[in-house]
Amino acid sequence: MFLLGLTGSIGMGKSTTAKMFVEEGCALWDADAAVHRLYAEGGAAVEPFRAAFPDAVIDGAVSRPALKDIISADPEALGRIERIVHPLVGQDRAAFIAQAQTDIVVLDIPLLFETGGEARVDATVCVYVDADTQEKRVMERGTMTQAQFEAIRAKQLPAKEKCDRADYVIETDTLEHARAQVQDVVRKIRSSLTDA
């Protein structure tokens, strides 16, 4: 089984590209979706959060807005939150990989390089588009302000650095171009698996 880490900055087309890998027969694990499962009612993170941050649990689930308030009031809280969440996310990922039935498992991890995740995969792929297109896509979603977008972009590694560190780069300028590149990456990986 080949583990492919998929990353890319906000608005670069990572979710769309991830779906293209699924269409090519790859299994997909999504870090953000894992966190949502862990935070949901009955999720594995609820009780640890209730113990560490009782105000973060609302109606039996971990509240992201409450966590944001806690972090803005106490910057030290972020480290404690990460120490709860990261091991649980790792367990979720390991369980997914263990039951996957495909030759390639794509791990969609937004902060792959920022968290050292590239050490846990066989290769990395970064999605990329120019900064103007990135900003246009994010602003068209209508879910955040310009200032929020700039703050998120500032926290992420520069797109060029991610691309330089990745084994494969997929430019998401058009759907057709992105799909052709996804197919090419999958073909290269599958041929390396059969050559091994």
pLDDT of residue 193 exceeding 80: yes
pLDDT tens figures, 69-80: 999 899 899 999
* 4: three-class secondary structure by DSSP: strand
pLDDT tens figures, 173-192: 999 999 999 999 999 999 99
**Mean pLDDT (whole number) for 31-52:** 96
pLDDT tens figures, 47-63: 999 999 999 999 999 99
Domain 30-101, CATH: 3.40.50.300
* 68: three-class secondary structure by DSSP: helix
| The CATH number of domain 1-26+105-196, selected from 3.30.2130.10, 1.10.3720.10, 3.40.50.300, 3.90.1150.10 | 3.40.50.300
Provide CATH 3.40.50.300 ranges for the chain: 1-26+105-196, 30-101
Cα(91)–Cα(32) distance, rounded to whole angstroms? 14
> What's the pLDDT band for 149 if we cut at 50, 70, 90?
confident
**Mean pLDDT (whole number) for 109-138:** 92
pLDDT of residue 102 exceeding 90: yes
Bigger pLDDT: 183 vs 148: 183
Q: Compute the Cα dihedral for 47, 50, 52, 58 and give only its sign.
A: positive
Cα(87)–Cα(77) distance, rounded to whole angstroms? 16
